[in-house]
Structure 1
Amino acid sequence: MQTDFYRIKRLPPYVFEQVNKLKAQARAAGDDIIDFGMGNPDMPTPPHIVEKLCEVAHDPRSNRYSASRGIKGLRKAMAGYYQRRFGVELDADSEVIATLGSKEGFANLAAAITAPGDVVLVPNPAYPIHAFGFILAGAAIRHIPANNPEEYLRQIDRAAHHSIPSPLAVVVNYPSNPTAQVVGLDFYKELLRIARKHEMWVLSDLAYADIYFDIEPPPSILQIEGAKDIAIEFQSLSKTYAMPGWRMGFAAGNKTLIGALARIKSYLDYGAYTPIQVAASAALNGPQECVDEIRAIYKSRRDVLVESMGRAGWEIDSPPASMFAWAKLPEQYREHGSMEFAKQLLVHAKIAVAPGIGFGEYGEGYVRIGLVENEHRIRQAARNVKKFLSTRFNEPAEL
């Protein structure tokens, strides 16, 4: 019986598994781990959204199959969000589709548009699904260094010119996970020029559009005239409304890409539970003060993290957006790498972070810190770090 499955073979060992094993062992031993490793929002979902879910769930009709594209009211709410937030007009029937979180939508679009051997340009470092959605679909991935947006644009043009066959698509993610970098409309204008020149689709992940600090609200690529001719954008309610477990996101933009995603999804799911979709509509259409409050919590945590870790001897650049800090390794650990530093930090300081190498080869030298612990816990983590950094490098941490 065959057990060497084609798609499983294309997936490398999970880089974060080493840290996860150490974390599980520590917790099993009774250790209190301060966990910055996963971008898992810890705040409660705003009450009016939960109340709408409960209200609709009491209606027996809501327990039936839903619609894989999303119910009409939800798609209209999503289009309404784009009009208010970005000034972008969308046809709720042909240019918007609900997804089970942005991750599902991204992976299913990759399956819908990719044939084995197609080339896709993806940033590196990057959120893993940006590459592995296409790897699972059989594509050939060309990793483009994305240590800063300007470099990424230059490398996209160069890579597209020298790729055989010509790339099918290019992926962008700003505000970025994991680097927290942001871009303006000029970036998207140049990206679209390059994409048209090389006849590429543009896939934009805008999951952190509403988590930003001390800057203008991050723009959408769809604000650029003509962008809908070649671009699709993914959004998520997970961070904006503290709804990660609800698994609600959406895609907007090019009709052909939306149609391809809808076709694939029609074979795979019946959409999210209807009460969740109605509650998501209430989130998008309802009062937005909760978004401001959630953003303020992340900003306060960011400020405490940067200030307290700095006093502990670990200088961390202040992220302008997202729920992450992209932190360069302390100097004495740089030669040992991000994986070993993350393991040492877990074993000796009881702090979990995500090693940068898990986001691609160009993530080496960094760790990602999620702003998912309260300010008291962040300060405790800084005290642990101060003690940890005052000792010499420990022997490699054992699994």
Structure 2
Amino acid sequence: MQFAKRLDALQGNVFADMDQAKAKARAAGQLILDLSLGSSDLPTSAPVLAAIAASLADPTTHGYLLFHGTREFRQVVAQWYTQKYGVGVDPETEVLPLIGSQEGTAHLPLAILNPGDVALLLDPGYPSHMGGVYLAGGQIYPMPLRPEAGFLPVFADIPPSVLAQARLMVLSYPHNPTTAIAPLSFFQAAVDFCQQHHLVLVHDFPYADFVFEAKPPPSILQADPQKQVSIELFTLSKSYHMGGFRVGYAIGNPDLIRALRQIKAVVDFNQYSGILNGAIAALQGDPQLVAQGVDCFRQRRDVFINALEAIGWPVNRPEATMYVWAKLPAPWSHESVQFCQQLVAATGVAASPGAGFGQAGEGYVRFALVHPPEILAIAVDRIAEFLRTYSPVQPG
């Protein structure tokens, strides 16, 4: 049996690899403390669940849901966005429901790239950004993110020969995995750069609300209010703890929305309309519920960071997201995959290796703060014992 060559580029995935390592450790008797996957453990709010439950009893919600049946959701998204960011939105031409924002990052390259075209991606970056480009037959130019530059890409470093083939740039701030925040001035520079070089600018924005002490992060459309080159993707998985419901949206340039809608039309319908009713309840709900969830993760961050510092592992305190991006101590400095595999095998604590997010992620490990503080403290105790006991296995 022969398979398409495009699968060759999809052999490795940080989450799939760690899932295998966790399964192996679990089979060996380890109790897994999973800090590898950024799936919120907080419950979906009662009003959201009530809206979905009420929909279940309505037989008119049980059929296929096409684009025009999503009008109420799109109107609520437009209202929510305009109120939050001060940018007007047409719900008919500038909003598209998504089955999670990953649908957008995976499918949009199919509408933008021809085989051989280049996409400019953050390195390290979220794996689905790479996957969508590979599926479209595109090439990836990684834009390295370095701590001395605030984990922001330096556009001037991109070679002219690459820009001549580039059609797409993908950004995502607050950033997974580095937790960096980008100011509005950076987005304005990105919009200008993309206009100058005729690039589509995609902003993946799942952590729009997940900021602790800093000011709320800007939307890309505040830098491109006329929506000339930009499209933004949002998911309700983080702010509203609805990861399993797979609901999000794309918002932005109407031509890009139309193109993504064309791809979506041949791949899937929309999710169950009851889920969109739940999403409407979330977006129209009490914003204090979102703030309470963010505060919960702030407390977890502080417990985890303080515990790491107590065992002699100093880490920068993140201002955003639900992660800690930790520079590995010696002798693990260039062994992030081996560190994570040995850690889960020896202690049951699962983390994500920095190398899984891109070449520039090597030397780091990402911890997801998806357990209560007392569990995070136990995880750090196990990490401390591991660091005292184990060292990298040298080849040969």
Does the pair score TM above 0.5?
Answer: yes
Task: Using the TM superposition, name which of 294-303 and 383-392 deviates more.
Answer: 383-392
In structure 1, the partner of 2:162 is: 163
In structure 2, the partner of 1:307 is: 306
Secondary structure at 1:72 match in 2: helix
Q: Which of 337, 340, 349 is the matching residue for 1:339?
A: 337
- Mapping of 1:216-365 within 5 angstroms? 216-226=215-225, 228-335=227-334, 337-365=335-363
Q: Which of 361, 373, 376 is the matching residue for 2:374?
A: 376
Distance (whole Å) between structure 2 residues aligned to residue 326 and residue 221 of structure 1: 24
Identity %: 35
In structure 2, the partner of 1:52 is: 51
In structure 1, the partner of 2:364 is: 366
Secondary structure at 1:295 match in 2: helix
2:66 is aligned with what amino acid? Answer: A
Contact 1:213 1:320 in 2 (8 A): yes
Contact 1:170 1:202 in 2 (8 A): yes
Contact 1:174 1:182 in 2 (8 A): yes
Secondary structure at 2:309 match in 1: helix
Contact 2:119 2:168 in 1 (8 A): yes
In structure 2, the partner of 1:144 is: 143
Structure 1 gaps, min length 5? none
Aligned pair in 2 of structure 1 residues 185, 264: CA closer, same or farther (>3 Å)?
same
User: 1:123-148, CA deviations, whole angstroms, 9 ceiling, x for partnerless residues?
Assistant: 10000111221111111111110225
Q: RMSD of aligned C-alpha atoms?
A: 1.9
Residue 94 of structure 1: how far off its partner (Å) = 0.4
Structure-2-length-normalised TM-score: 0.95
Contact 1:340 1:396 in 2 (8 A): no
Aligned pair in 2 of structure 1 residues 66, 160: CA closer, same or farther (>3 Å)?
farther
In structure 2, the partner of 1:20 is: 19
Aligned pair in 2 of structure 1 residues 393, 214: CA closer, same or farther (>3 Å)?
same
Secondary structure at 2:142 match in 1: strand
Aligned pair in 2 of structure 1 residues 186, 275: CA closer, same or farther (>3 Å)?
same
Distance (whole Å) between structure 2 residues aligned to residue 394 and residue 166 of structure 1: 41
Instruction: Count matched residues.
Output: 395
Secondary structure at 1:216 match in 2: coil
Contact 1:68 1:269 in 2 (8 A): no
In structure 2, the partner of 1:386 is: 384
2:365 is aligned with what amino acid? Answer: V
Secondary structure at 2:303 match in 1: helix
User: 1:181-226, CA deviations, whole angstroms, 9 ceiling, x for partnerless residues?
Assistant: 0011100111111111111111101110001110000110101254
Residue 82 of structure 1: how far off its partner (Å) = 1.0
Aligned pair in 2 of structure 1 residues 197, 75: CA closer, same or farther (>3 Å)?
same
User: 1:328-380, CA deviations, whole angstroms, 9 ceiling, x for partnerless residues?
Assistant: 10223214x10111122112232100000000100000011101111111010
In structure 1, the partner of 2:117 is: 118
Structure-1-length-normalised TM-score: 0.94
Aligned pair in 2 of structure 1 residues 377, 151: CA closer, same or farther (>3 Å)?
closer
Aligned pair in 2 of structure 1 residues 222, 366: CA closer, same or farther (>3 Å)?
same
Contact 1:39 1:370 in 2 (8 A): yes
2:295 is aligned with what amino acid? Answer: A
Aligned pair in 2 of structure 1 residues 231, 200: CA closer, same or farther (>3 Å)?
same
Residue 30 of structure 1: how far off its partner (Å) = 2.9
Structure 2 gaps, min length 5? none
Contact 2:204 2:233 in 1 (8 A): yes
Contact 1:69 1:97 in 2 (8 A): no
In structure 1, the partner of 2:207 is: 208
Contact 2:14 2:352 in 1 (8 A): no
